[in-house]
Structure 1
């Protein structure tokens, strides 16, 4: 389901219950299109996410952790200037559109009352978040500036008068009468509802069209259920989220307490992956270029190695030319001679007409010796190049499973390894940032399980933080996270759950029967000069598991005893 007008309506009711009367405590803009307002209401801090992402635009309370940037954006600074300590007085949806108005009361520098409005427009690639002075109607700032040459209908720039999005000539389904004349065909009926009623995504329109088979009672029943939502994710041919269970959707359903919890579960992978791709764009490009370069180098080395297989043929030709030297005349370009290495087949040998017979023979011996000498060098170079390729592909795999907070650790590692240049801040060298903490999970019995998300975290976790008696796990023979069980004798179930985490946070996270090694930390060692994250061990045991996303998410929270 899209975040349509129906879902916006229900979310508005939920946010009113949780947030109205609260005060803004903190304001952060961790990502280019997203703002988080921490609002203190009902004796609790609520992280309110306002997203103008082109694909994941939404409004919700979120518990997904985020990394706050060192330097605040201009929009975040404007919000802090005007909304710090402001009281949230009103939350309203515009008709049944995907537009939310959040009105705040505060005071200006002179102590006079000031009324402000945050307008959140959830409109795909046109999504935006706008701060408006209600007294003047002027825009104070926006998360996305849209000049006049990009939008002829309205100017979305600071200082301009705020103009509402174009009004839709459609009825509000929450207040309109039940349609009495509609097509019999379900697809046509769905299209009819979208054309005549505001804020209906295709799945909501399909659900209403299905319920109209029962006539007006089906229509009224739908909106009666919407008034008491049952947040649901339905997993079938696709994954959909809805405010209530939809009769028109088939598959396995999962229920949630609130709409915000549902959205966290739905977006935890999609949104996080997109954020990582945004923040790690430079790293991804550097890695892709280095990996491509190493692959091409490996191919050339392989070709050189294959050429060395011809070394014996050069030696044979040199031997035959030396044996029959008297039959060779200067100026000849080729000669066919008996092959005493193969009695049945004579051999044709190319010659240089610029060289003497003995020089031609020596030429073949020289080629033979050169190729023979190159084998050891090429094998050494191929081993080193393959090790670097494995290392870089391992980092690329880590970016795929990383959270946004892990990106800086990976950037730091690439800088330490010389793949990225360090950024200078003035004349002083930039201060080395602290490593992000490994992710903490809890086994079913409450045992803590730590998961390193990149090579620097892995080294810190395994070699410095973990106790020697703890259990260490890693996906067998593939890039992945170091996992530490905070116990010297974990239960079989805890061991299986930790192996599940090791498999999930590896290159084979979507595989089945992933092999995972486990061993005590004291048997792990790091060779001198080894790259970050690389360790060796002996005497391990192995367990096979199939990663389950639902279990991984469940293990993020301590069990309720």
Structure 2
């Protein structure tokens, strides 16, 4: 489903329970049009995500890690100035619309108590986050400023009066007490799909999935319509968050199981549900946006080297047939008296194969002897080229393997890992530096930290520079190293000298999940002591050789990965 008004209603209930009375301690904008507020409430820190992303707009608490940009933008600085250190008074939804108000008690520059409102409008490409003075509704600033040239009805600029989004003449389903209109719709539209369409045009804040689920509930036999209606909306107060699958296999989410959709997984809260649903989806979009240049360079190099390898394979085939040139030269020298100037081809006996005469092409501008000498030269040339071609094929295949690994890392990367990949390509000369000045020391980001069921720390590298740093410098030689067998993937380190079998399996699951075999089953993962892992001289970043390994087979489990990630955030 979409993040419609009904889902917003359930989310606001969850946020009220978690955040009311909490103190805002930090404010960041890790990605464009997305704000993270750290709120200290109920003796723990909560990360509150306010997103005005046109595709993934929403409000929730989140446990997904993020990297704070070095330089905050103007809107972030405005929020910090007015909100940092203040307290959340209340959170409420406007009717059943996708508009949420966070009322915040703060003090102004002279110390007087005042109330501000953070307005989160979840409206696709019109989504916005606006800071408003509660008393006179003056706009302090907006994450997306909208001038009168773009919208005459609503100007969202500092100093303007805040105007609510255009009101829909629809009924709030949570405040409906006269069920006659619903009974009339149910009577006029006995078909579930038709009833769902009419419900969307009558009740406020219903997405297509919600209206279809309500229509199914209203048709439930054995109870009065009013009871079915009331029971349906009561479930939003006590949600059972789930991901859903449509008949076509499309993944969605809902505050509780929505028939006729198939339930995929249950989650402990709406925010955990959204973390699971959006993490991969949003991350892929951000990587595509921020890593477009890296993706282009990688694809170009792969295309060039695959084309080169194909050409070298053809040359190698010719080199293996070099003896044919020698034989033709020898046959020509043997039967020179039968070769006349100006001939373009001749058929001569082949003393290497008496049963098959040899057809020899000739260059008419050359003499018979010169033609024979040309064949001897071609023989020597191709013979000498054979070893060179073999070396070139090995190097070209190594380039292909390298860029396939880079491509896999970009596919699995989080946006903060892209900087390391960019640095690596710049160091290798595949990507030009923006400045000619060479940095004295390359700063490599930290590998991701997980914690196994028994409390053992597991580190996972997300790119070649991280992998080299983790395996060759960070890890103790007595710790355990893991990697998918003959499959591009991450280096994984278990920070234990004697890990349990369970920890090895959990680390192997991480190695398989953060590899090109993420969607495969029974993935082979090798593990060995770090001291058995060596880097060959002159090898590209991320490439190592290892010996004395053992192998386990695992099927990547995203839920286990999330559990090990949550273990790390709670320790």
What TM-score results when the alignment is normalised by the length of structure 1? 0.92
Aligned residue for 1:241? 253
Aligned residue for 2:401? 390
Aligned length: 558
Distance (Å, rounded) in 1 between the aligned partners of 2:547 and 2:442: 34
Aligned-partner SS, 2:298: helix
Match of 2:233 among 187, 204, 223: 223
Pair 1:27 & 2:27 matched: yes
Distance (Å, rounded) in 1 between the aligned partners of 2:440 and 2:255: 47
Pair 1:318 & 2:329 matched: yes
CA displacement at 1:157 relative to structure 2:
4.7
Deviates most, 108-117 or 473-482:
108-117
Deviations along 1:418-446, one digit per CA (max 9) or x if unpaired, are: 2223344xx97667563222222222222
Pair 1:106 & 2:117 matched: no
CA displacement at 1:316 relative to structure 2:
2.2
CA displacement at 1:344 relative to structure 2:
3.0
Deviates most, 512-521 or 90-99:
90-99
Pair 1:473 & 2:482 matched: yes
Aligned residue for 1:38? 38
Pair 1:460 & 2:469 matched: yes
Pair 1:377 & 2:400 matched: no
Distance (Å, rounded) in 2 between the aligned partners of 1:147 and 1:280: 31
Aligned-partner SS, 2:165: coil
Distance 1:89 1:432, change over 3 A: farther
Aligned-partner SS, 1:440: strand
Distance (Å, rounded) in 1 between the aligned partners of 2:343 and 2:431: 57
CA displacement at 1:474 relative to structure 2:
0.6
Distance 1:369 1:153, change over 3 A: farther
Aligned-partner SS, 2:496: coil
CA displacement at 1:41 relative to structure 2:
3.1
Distance (Å, rounded) in 2 between the aligned partners of 1:412 and 1:323: 63
CA displacement at 1:405 relative to structure 2:
2.7
Contact 1:118–1:129, Cα closer than 8 Å, also in 2:
yes
Aligned residue for 2:371? 360
CA displacement at 1:363 relative to structure 2:
1.2
Deviations along 1:389-437, one digit per CA (max 9) or x if unpaired, are: 211211221122222332222222222222223344xx97667563222
Aligned-partner SS, 2:262: coil
Pair 1:419 & 2:430 matched: yes
Deviations along 1:446-504, one digit per CA (max 9) or x if unpaired, are: 22222122222212222222222222111001111111222333222222222111111
Distance (Å, rounded) in 2 between the aligned partners of 1:435 and 1:244: 43
Aligned residue for 1:199? 205
Pair 1:285 & 2:283 matched: no
Aligned residue for 2:510? 501
Aligned residue for 1:438? 447
* Pairing 1:11-160 to 2, within 5 Å after superposition: 11-111=11-111, 115-134=115-134, 137-146=137-146, 151=151, 153-158=153-158, 160=160
Pair 1:208 & 2:214 matched: yes
Distance (Å, rounded) in 1 between the aligned partners of 2:541 and 2:362: 53
Contact 1:234–1:254, Cα closer than 8 Å, also in 2:
no
Match of 1:517 among 526, 542, 558: 526
RMSD over aligned CA atoms reads: 2.5
Contact 1:10–1:229, Cα closer than 8 Å, also in 2:
yes
Gaps of 5+ in 1: none
Gaps of 5+ in 2: none
Distance (Å, rounded) in 2 between the aligned partners of 1:116 and 1:210: 42
Match of 2:193 among 182, 187, 190: 187
Distance (Å, rounded) in 1 between the aligned partners of 2:541 and 2:488: 12
CA displacement at 1:553 relative to structure 2:
1.5
Distance (Å, rounded) in 2 between the aligned partners of 1:66 and 1:333: 73
Distance 1:341 1:164, change over 3 A: farther
Aligned residue for 2:498? 489
Distance (Å, rounded) in 2 between the aligned partners of 1:420 and 1:127: 36
Aligned residue for 1:173? 173
Pair 1:408 & 2:411 matched: no
Aligned residue for 2:286? 275
Aligned-partner SS, 1:393: helix
Pair 1:528 & 2:537 matched: yes
Aligned residue for 2:308? 297
Distance 1:298 1:159, change over 3 A: farther
Deviates most, 300-309 or 368-377:
300-309
Aligned-partner SS, 2:201: helix
Distance 1:155 1:349, change over 3 A: farther
Distance (Å, rounded) in 1 between the aligned partners of 2:439 and 2:42: 42
What TM-score results when the alignment is normalised by the length of structure 2? 0.91
CA displacement at 1:212 relative to structure 2:
0.5
Aligned-partner SS, 1:518: strand
Distance 1:230 1:459, change over 3 A: same
CA displacement at 1:293 relative to structure 2:
1.9
Distance (Å, rounded) in 2 between the aligned partners of 1:386 and 1:487: 36
Distance 1:125 1:309, change over 3 A: farther
Contact 1:172–1:197, Cα closer than 8 Å, also in 2:
yes
